[in-house]
Structure 1
Amino acid sequence: MSITTKSAELECNTEGGCDAIELVITPRSTDLGDFSVRRTLPNKERQMVGPWIFFDHMGPADFPADKGISVRPHPHINLATVTYLFEGEILHRDSLGSKQTITPGDINLMVAGKGIVHSERERPEVNGVPHRLHGLQLWMALPEEFEEIDPAFYHYPSRDIPAATIDGVSLRVLIGDAYGLVSPVKTYSDTLYIEADLQTGQRLELANAEERALYVAKGQLKLKDKVINQYDMVVLSEAEGVVIEATQDSRIALIGGKNLGPRFIEWNFISSRKERIEQAKQDWLAGKFPKVIEDEVEFIPLPK
């Protein structure tokens, strides 16, 4: 993992407003077997941005026939997962009985609460031919008062996600509210997740949040005189009027929201209480979590 840090420096001008870069993170590559992901959060310098505690960029990965995503059933507690695809599809199943194909532009929100198990596979008609997968997977911590709620699953098709064109820039408010748009996706605290596509030379003033970070999924940007390269995440201060400019055709994700305080994280378990994670580990070893419906045989063992 490569991490560049500097103290927040506030710079202002009449054209670009003010910007404050607190931290620049270059993700580390994590091998998942048939493909690898770029993992930006958590890292040793920054655990969370708002409620967001996990940020993976999957692909773009090209698979031959009979190869692809096949993540066996595994558990989560005290968090919510968000899956968002640019290309390809994933078949989600969980212990509530949910069975949902995720396609580009959809939002899949799985709320683990007191405990859920899910798998991520592919439909046979997808897996049986050459195919591509590209997208983001994020986890958000739940506020302490919601950590032990009943698990739930919500699917929002692409057509239900609000979109707008701001100064020529196409953007979507996936979670939260910004630019006069309000997402229908359920939240448990102040949460922000925006995607935007900028053509070379286009500029966009970023929405504000208590905490926020900008990720460049494709292309290259300038923030004042600072170049932000593809796959970099820039953690920003609360400065208003932050304007980015695309030096290449670019796709960005802006995440953020309310600071929920630190969390413990081990394997797939996140909680405000370390003893809760220990309990979840023992429950998984003892087979006390529910089974994924229609995917009851395989599972991922607890790492030693």
Structure 2
Amino acid sequence: MLTMVIDPRRADLGHGLLVQRILPFAKRRMVGPFIFLDHAGPVQLPAQEVRKVDVRPHPHIGLSTVSYLFSGNVTHRDSLGVKQVIVPGEVNWMTAGRGISHSERFEDPAAFAGQGLELLQSWVALPEADEETDPSFDNYLVEALPEARDGDIWMRLIAGEAYGLHSKVKTHSPLFYVHAVLQAGASFTLPRGYEERAIYIASGSIEVGGQPHVAGQMLVFDRVGDDPTLKAGTAGAVLMLLGGDSVGPRHIWWNFVSSRKERIEQAKDDWESGRIALPPDDDEEFIPLPHQAAPPRIEPLS
């Protein structure tokens, strides 16, 4: 049953990098463990402009970030010493746990060429038992991700279990995350067996119960009652299907997520005090806490 339609809030992160923010939403902060979803692009930039949209090192706690590209590329560096060029179709799963920092740099002059850069980034809240786990980063190649085709429907399982497929991506709670492409008029239903489910329409349109829904919208469903039939519009649709079982309520402030408000306050102090390290090969600048007039970070004594 369709319970809510979330319209995107559009923002310019600077220098022409446009983002549609879907989650969190005032009336729907999470879908299963998913607590954040941004859709950037597609946007084209000339080669001499791409470095202007670099994202400097910044911290996270209590979540996993999931970076998934439709086109373009970006270089990830983190405080574990990982350097990974993120390319379309691969899954890049960074678990912050007790604390990690990372940067996203556009070092390739062609990062925004051709079809431009188009990136989906989601955050998955960790269960309480795993919120203080050791940080980690894993890259999964396209060949490692299960795919399926049924007539006019193609799908790739990014994480979790759905439609009889099982992903090797390491997760911490029951969830599903699917990239699906539907040709015009193709019909399907959502994965079953999860408490909360949603569809984000990346492009094209779909109909639910005869009502049209367009690109940029997220449709949120519960698992009560019959599963509705979803039908792609005349131009087809590219969809991200996501959801899972609830991990309980969460506090979210800036890049920090936790089941405990006091843990957010500790994370603020940890970042200011230098207790969350910077990437070892990207440690000359960082993003300070919001609303700070000057970088407040104090490096710990060696």
TM-score normalized by structure 2? 0.91
CA contact (8 A) 2:44 2:112 kept: no
Segment drifting more, 177-186 vs 90-99: 177-186
Per-residue Cα deviation, 1:252-301 (whole angstroms, up to 9, x for no partner): 01100011111001111110010000011011111221111210101001
How well do the aligned residues superpose, as a CA RMSD in angstroms? 1.5
Residues 1-304 of structure 1 aligned to structure 2 (within 5 Å): 20-34=1-15, 35-68=17-50, 69-126=53-110, 132-208=116-192, 209-238=194-223, 239-247=225-233, 248-304=235-291
Aligned to 1:15: none
CA contact (8 A) 2:92 2:138 kept: yes
What is the CA-CA distance between 1:88 and the residue it aligns to?
A: 0.4
The answer for unaligned runs of 5 or more in structure 1 is 1-19
SS in 1 for 2:110: helix
Runs of 4+ aligned residues of structure 1 deviating over 6 Å after TM superposition are 128-131
CA contact (8 A) 2:86 2:92 kept: yes
- CA separation of 1:128/1:213 partners in 2, compared to 1, >3 Å: closer, same or farther? closer
What is the number of equivalent residue pairs in this alignment? 285
- CA separation of 1:221/1:130 partners in 2, compared to 1, >3 Å: closer, same or farther? closer
One-letter identity of the residue aligned with 1:106: E
Segment drifting more, 116-125 vs 215-224: 116-125
What is the CA-CA distance between 1:126 and the residue it aligns to?
A: 3.2
Per-residue Cα deviation, 1:53-102 (whole angstroms, up to 9, x for no partner): 00000100111112234000000001000000000011000000110011
Aligned to 2:296: none
Instruction: Report percent identity of matched pairs.
Output: 47
- CA separation of 1:167/1:224 partners in 2, compared to 1, >3 Å: closer, same or farther? farther
- CA separation of 1:200/1:78 partners in 2, compared to 1, >3 Å: closer, same or farther? same
One-letter identity of the residue aligned with 1:21: L
Structure 2: distance between partners of 1:259 and 1:106: 26
Segment drifting more, 225-234 vs 78-87: 225-234
What is the CA-CA distance between 1:125 and the residue it aligns to?
A: 4.4
- CA separation of 1:274/1:227 partners in 2, compared to 1, >3 Å: closer, same or farther? same
Structure 2: distance between partners of 1:125 and 1:30: 24
What is the CA-CA distance between 1:228 and the residue it aligns to?
A: 1.1
One-letter identity of the residue aligned with 2:232: A
Per-residue Cα deviation, 1:85-121 (whole angstroms, up to 9, x for no partner): 0000110000001100111100000000000000001
SS in 2 for 1:118: strand
Structure 2: distance between partners of 1:218 and 1:132: 15
Structure 1: distance between partners of 2:112 and 2:38: 26
- CA separation of 1:222/1:129 partners in 2, compared to 1, >3 Å: closer, same or farther? closer
CA contact (8 A) 2:71 2:115 kept: no
- CA separation of 1:131/1:119 partners in 2, compared to 1, >3 Å: closer, same or farther? farther
What is the CA-CA distance between 1:129 and the residue it aligns to?
A: 6.7
Structure 2: distance between partners of 1:166 and 1:173: 14
TM-score normalized by structure 1? 0.91
The answer for unaligned runs of 5 or more in structure 2 is 292-302
Structure 1: distance between partners of 2:160 and 2:118: 23
